[in-house]
A and B are shown apart, each in its own frame.
Chain A
Amino acid sequence: DTAVSQTPKYLVTQMGNDKSIKCEQNLGHDTMYWYKQDSKKFLKIMFSYNNKELIINETVPNRFSPKSPDKAHLNLHINSLELGDSAVYFCASSPGTAGTEAFFGQGTRLTVV
């Protein structure tokens, strides 16, 4: 009964490959997010979706393409992976009202070699 679940937990891949990370929430929230945590633990928002509509795109390279088939799912597809993409990617959800807290998944540690 995990609230926000993302798969896989670990992902090791070679440069140039394309990979996807999946996220699902069962909280009934309207808004979902992708955050990136770099090697220094700094967390920065990448995208947010509200009811399947893109709301925030924080100047992320267009190799990153989020897809929301329904409001309970937000997947992240990454094309042509680069070494600098290595990070922990967190999915989160919230009720969608400005300023409400976000509920985070366990994270996906992506390592590009």
Chain B
Amino acid sequence: AQSVTQPDIHITVSEGASLELRCNYSYGATPYLFWYVQSPGQGLQLLLKYFSGDTLVQGIKGFEAEFKRSQSSFNLRKPSVHWSDAAEYFCAVGTHNTDKLIFGTGTRLQVFP
């Protein structure tokens, strides 16, 4: 069965610093991969997605993610974090034979001024 692991429960960075949030998945074939962000008291907003093709995908708010098949990873990056990026980030995987998403446990990002 497919699964998603986000090893970092909580990350703290200074505003302006670079960011990388880790995501590893388990699935036998090429998965569909997503990053969502959840601000406090809000729903989930899609940041970016990978279906096929170029393994480096660009998303909204200056985020990007790279699919690495050899490492079963889909890490999220941002070169310079803004205070408004403080939120919970979820990696998710979807597959070819089901229309449900399997979510990781989330990474809480805190940004210090």
Interface residues, chain A, with chain B CB atoms under 8 Å away: 4, 31, 33, 40-45, 48, 50, 55-56, 58, 90, 92, 94, 96-107
Q: A33-B100, A96-B99, A99-B96 are in contact. Are A104 and B43 (CB under 8 A)?
A: yes
Q: Is the CB of A102 within 8 A of B43?
A: no
CB of B77 to closest CB in A, whole Å: 20
Interface residues of B (CB under 8 A from A): 31-32, 34, 36, 38, 41-46, 49, 51, 88, 90, 94-101, 103, 105-106, 108
Given contacts A40-B105, A43-B90, contact A98 B42 (CB under 8 A): no
Complex-state Cα separation, A100 to B108, whole angstroms? 25
* 30 contacts across the A-B interface (CB closer than 8 A): A4-B43, A33-B100, A41-B108, A42-B103, A42-B106, A43-B90, A43-B103, A43-B106, A55-B99, A56-B98, A56-B99, A56-B100, A58-B100, A94-B99, A97-B99, A98-B94, A98-B96, A98-B98, A98-B99, A99-B31, A99-B32, A99-B51, A99-B94, A101-B34, A101-B49, A102-B101, A103-B46, A106-B43, A107-B42, A107-B43
Chain A residues, CB < 8 A from B90: 43
**Please, how many angstroms separate the alpha-carbon atoms of A105 and B106 in the complex?**
18
Interface of chain B, main secondary structure: strand
Closest to A4 in B: B43
Tell me which residues across on chain B come within 8 A of A97, comparing CB atoms: 99
Q: Which residue of A lies closest to B36 (CB)?
A: A104
A100–B49 Cα distance when bound, in Å, is: 9
Taking a contact as CB atoms closer than 8 A, the residue among A41, A45, A103 that contacts B100 in the complex is A45
Complex Cα–Cα for A33 and B44 (A): 13
A106 — which chain B residues lie within 8 A by C-beta?
42-43
Determine the residue in chain B with the shortest Cβ distance to A91: B43
The closest CB in chain B to the CB of A103 belongs to: B46
Q: Which residue of B lies closest to A9 (CB)?
A: B41
- Asked if A48 and B100 sit within 8 Å, CB to CB, the answer is yes
Distance of A40 Cα from B88 Cα, bound (Å)? 11
A104 touches B94 (CB 8 A): no
Please give me the 10 A-B residue pairs with the lowest Cβ-Cβ distance, nearest first. A99-B32, A99-B94, A104-B43, A43-B103, A104-B44, A106-B43, A45-B100, A41-B106, A98-B99, A101-B46
